Structure 1
Amino acid sequence: MDNVKRKLLHQTLRGYGLYAVLILLLSTPFFYFLIQKLHLDDVDEGLVLRADEFKLHILPGLNASEIDQWNRFNRDMKILKEPVIKGDSLSFQFYYDSLITELEPYRVLLSPVKIGNLPYTLSVKNDLIESEDLIMSLALLYSGLLVVLLAGLFYITKYYSNRLWLPFYNTLDSIEQYEIDKTHKPDLPDPAIQEFSRLNQSVQNLIDRSKVTYENQQEFIENAAHELQTPLAVLHAKLDSFLQLPDLTASQLAALSPLYDLLARLNRLNKNLLLLSKIDHQSYHTAERFDLALVIEKTIDFFEDQATEKNIRFEHVKLESHWVVYNMALVEILVSNLLLNALTHNREYGVIHIELKGSTLIISNTGATSTVLAAEKLFQRFAKTGSASKGNGLGLAIVKKITDLYGWMIGYSFEDGLHCFKVRF
């Protein structure tokens, strides 16, 4: 199946082109035969007229003894004894032309006449050499004019179609550049064409409704996360107090331990939702100058104990000094989430490679799976790329949100058995 996308204008011009070629192919032979028929009718009419003039003005005074003399001085009109015919007839015949030494086509009229009460046949002929040249010239002229006309119509249609569709392409560009989490809305003009005006109005209404829905959703998430902070804190304090009771049995401790882990996970989830909401509202607008390598070193030190507990080693840590001017808190969150992802989805006795070269940060790690992950799902919220249930599905989504905020590039690849995340600042 052909999945190649074509432009609407090209599709329209393609139809015009095919139609033009079809008309050209069909009309040229039709025009040729029409001109040829008209010319033959004119030649036949001329032959009949010459024969009638001969019968009216010359035949009454012509004697049989003068036939040979007549035939000697008249090249295209002769009096024949044979054949004897009863009526006029027109035909094509070929005669040898000694000047060009070849046979040439003629149109011949045979008409019965009587000279001295004896039957004869009057032969009147007209050569068709110039006629064919004329017909061919007319056909070529017609074809040339038709080609020029169609080519002109083709380019004029293309020119005006481009101008006609310009508002549509402007609207399309505005929609492609629009991001709902940004405050700037596309400015869609009101074009003079009614259909495009309706389209812009409909798109503008859709954007407005989507913006309101998005803001309501963000407000709900932010409010819900804020409201959850207090009960989660109370629950955490109650659980800590309960775990400190001296008379707890081993089975009770074993039952409460998963609840404690689940509560910690809920706290992380709530904090991440608040963080996403703040990023969406551009709360991190302050910027300062700092060395990116120092931030990464501090983050590695923070995760060193967790890595040791899981028998994971930091190897090939190569950090070049690189000064940047961004919000340091967001950069710390980005690096922390990437390292946490490398730890969470690693295997026992695995390794983590970290390299900062210029403005590019590469974090690579062995993983629980040795196959390439679905890159299109990695940075989606709550997306699962495998059977593992680790994490809350927001870590890489937050990384993607931060990179989008600053216009950084982030990508994933699987190289030499390592899952690689590359960020270009």
Structure 2
Amino acid sequence: MDRKLLHKTQRIYLIYFTVILLITAPLFYFIIHKMYIDNADESLRLREYEFRKNNISSLHISDIPIWNKYNPYVKIVEDKGLKNDSLFYTYYYENQDEETELYRELNTPITIENTPFTFSARTNLVESEDLIMSIAILFLIIIILLLAGLYFMNKRMSEKLWNPFYQTLQQIEDFEIDKHKIPTFNKSDIEEFNRLNISINNLIEKNTIIYNNQREFVENAAHELQTPIAVFKAKIDTIIQRSDITQGQAGILVSLNKTVSRLSRLNKNLLLLSKIENNQFNKTTTFSINELIEDQLQFFIEQAEQKNIEIKTDFQNDVLIDANRGLTEILVNNLLLNAIKHNIEDGQINISIFEQTLGISNKGIDNELPKNKLFKRFSKSNPSGKGTGLGLAIIKKIADTYGWIVSYYFKDGVHQFSIRF
């Protein structure tokens, strides 16, 4: 699935912010926790220092019970055989809170009246842990707000910065070379976008000139070929009528006559496409598509009977359209002629009108037509066929002229073309 450029960059930013958050949040907690433990250890060593400086020289063994009674967090206990200071975590039951709480404790050897004892100082870590957790949560909230603010600010700035690019992209998507409407690109304060607009504008101008030259050549060539083709066909018809030609010569002349007729149809179709592109069918009227089909239906029934093809109609409602009636007749004629030409013997054609849609379906080759080539000029499902390969191209061009939607469906051997008016 394709994603927008902004979505991709924002996704990268979002991943980056998430990784930063996942790394910094626990790292911050562990750093704060270590700093506090170091501070607690320093506080315990300060108590030991003050005890040695101010109390140990005047303290007697008989004073120890009284000392311990009034100093619950700094006690003198029996000798534990320590030779160096010992810092560790331990748990004590607190009567006031009626629960066991975590402490950081320092044990160090001391001597009172030449008798070894152990100095024990401890500090409660529970309240400190709560404080650290609160600080960590506050930090996390600040980081989330900061990253979210950066993300949305970057998103807003990116949308604003890339807006000229999307305007250019929309102009290119709306541009149709045969509509004679050159896109106008807004000047941007970003050098790269201006260079892009200038390059695209130059490219469009060059291609428009080439397209107009090609179209003019086709139009002129088609016009110039009309008279020679007509003269050539007339002379062939005259020669065929002569009585002094042989049967072999007659066969060659008939073959030439068919080829010239096909060339004449091709020339007329090219002229028709040229006129449509030049908007020479700009006169429009409002008429019923149902009535237009019914006026011509008898002709197509006669054509279909030659292949034993049955034509059925199903008009659910009357559809009024505003278009050039002649062009619309050409569109309907091409659709029906294709349905007859590419049908099977004893086949069937269904003409339906439902809401604003005309549908024409027929049996045909048991393969779906290639949709990528369907409406291209000179594209034929059967390369050896007698058609010019312009019928569907003319249908598409007429539909595009009035903003109609042409669709093709294939299911169970049935080919259907529909026009959404």
TM-score, normalised via structure 1 length: 0.91
Does the alignment pair 1:17 with 2:14?
A: yes
Report the alpha carbon displacement of residue 191 of structure 1 after superposing the two structures with TM: 1.3
Q: Could you give the per-residue CA deviations for residues 38-81 of structure 1, whole angstroms, max 9, x where no partner exists? A: 11111111111121111112222222332232222221112233
Q: Which range moves more in the overlay, 83-92 or 39-48?
A: 83-92
Superposed CA deviations along residues 342-375 of structure 1, whole A, max 9, x for unmatched, are: 22222334343334566543333333x2444334
The CA deviation string for residues 259-316 of structure 1, in whole angstroms up to 9 with x for no partner, is: 1111100000011011111111111112234454454344334445544444444444
Aligned to 2:285: 288
Say which of 364, 369, 373 aligns to 1:373: 369
**1:116 — aligned with what?**
113
Residue 165 in structure 1 maps to residue 162 in structure 2: yes
- Residue 9 of structure 1 deviates from its aligned partner by 1.6
Q: Bigger CA drift: 378-387 or 133-142?
A: 378-387
Q: 1:261 to 1:21 in 2, by over 3 A?
A: same
Call closer, same or farther: CA 1:73–1:269 in 2, change over 3 Å: same
Per-residue CA deviation, residues 160-182 of structure 1 (Å, 9 max, x unaligned), is 22222211222222211111110
The letter of the residue matching 1:224 is A
The residue aligned with 2:220 is 223
Give the number of aligned pairs.
421
Letter in 2 for 1:422: S
2: CA distance between counterparts of 1:158 and 1:277?
48
Q: Does 1:235 find its partner at 2:232?
A: yes
Contact kept, 8 Å, 1:344 with 1:391, in 2: the verdict is no
Pair 255,313 (structure 1): closer, same or farther in 2 beyond 3 Å: farther
**8 Å Cα contact 2:363-2:415 kept in structure 1:** yes
Q: In 1, distance between residues paired with 2:75 and 2:321?
A: 108
For 2:408, the equivalent position in structure 1 comes to 412
- 1:105 counterpart residue number: 102
CA distance in 2, matches of 1:269, 1:383: 13
**What secondary structure sits across from 1:412 in the alignment?**
strand
Q: Residues 317 and 87 (structure 1 numbering): CA distance in 2 closer, same or farther, change over 3 Å?
A: closer
For each residue in 1:89-133, what CA deviation from the matched residue of structure 2 results, as whole angstroms up to 9, or x when unmatched? 222222222233333222222233332233332222212121211
Give the structure 1 partner of residue 128 of structure 2: 131
User: Aligned equivalents of 1:158 and 1:348: distance in 2?
Assistant: 63
Q: 2:246 pairs with 236, 245, 249, which one?
A: 249
| TM-score of the superposed pair, with normalisation by structure 2 | 0.91
The aligned counterpart of 2:325 is 328
Task: Give the C-alpha shift of residue 20 in structure 1.
Answer: 1.6
Alignment-derived partner of residue 177 in structure 1: 174
- 1:321 & 1:80 partners in 2: Cα distance? 107
Q: Is the 8 A contact 2:222 2:267 kept in 1?
A: yes
CA 1:48–1:261: 2 relative to 1, 3 Å? same
Partner residue of 2:83? 86
Summarize deviations over 1:208-232 as a string: whole Å, max 9, x none.
1221111111111112212222321
Could you say which residue in structure 1 is the equivalent of 2:68?
71
The C-alpha deviation readout for 1:126-176, integer Å capped at 9, x for no partner, is: 121212111111111111211121122222222222222211222222211
Q: Tell me, what secondary structure is at the counterpart of 2:179?
A: coil
Deviation of residue 417 (structure 1)? 5.1
Segment drifting more, 163-172 vs 65-74: 65-74
CA distance in 2, matches of 1:331, 1:249: 45
**Corresponding residue for 2:390?**
394
Cα distance in 2 for partners of 1:57, 1:416 equals: 104
> Residue by residue, what CA displacement relative to the aligned partner does 1:385-406 show, whole Å, maximum 9, x if unpaired?
2465131100111111111101
Paired position in structure 2 for 1:203: 200
Q: 1:57 to 1:228 in 2, by over 3 A?
A: same
Partners of 1:106 and 1:319 in 2: CA distance: 88
Q: Matches of 1:67 and 1:317 in 2, distance apart?
A: 112
Q: Which moved more, 1:397-406 or 1:348-357?
A: 348-357
> Which residue is 1:271 aligned to?
268
**SS across alignment from 2:80:** coil
Structure 1 counterpart of 2:336, one-letter code: L
- Contact 1:352 1:363 (C-alpha < 8 Å) held by counterparts: yes
Within 5 Å, give how 1:39-58 maps onto structure 2: 39-58=36-55
| Percent identity for Structure 1 against Structure 2 | 47
State yes or no: 1:363 paired with 2:370: no
Distance 1:223-1:68 versus aligned 2 partners, 3 A rule: same
**Aligned residues of 2:92 and 2:101 also touching (Cα < 8 A):** yes
Q: Secondary structure at the match of 1:61?
A: coil
Q: Is residue 421 of structure 1 aligned with residue 421 of structure 2?
A: no
Does 2:333 align with 1:340? no
Q: 1:110 to 1:295 in 2, by over 3 A?
A: closer
Q: Judging changes above 3 Å, is the alpha-carbon distance between structure 1 residues 402 and 61 closer, same or farther for their aligned structure 2 residues?
A: same
Pair 1:94–1:366, CA change in 2 (3 A): closer
Equivalent-residue separation in structure 2 for 1:407 and 1:392 (angstroms): 25
CA distance in 1, matches of 2:240, 2:176: 48
Residues 1:148 and 2:145 are matched in the alignment: yes
Amino acid of the structure 1 residue aligned with 2:57: P
Structure 1 residue runs of 5 or longer lacking an equivalent are none
- Preserved CA contact (<8 Å) 2:79 2:116: no
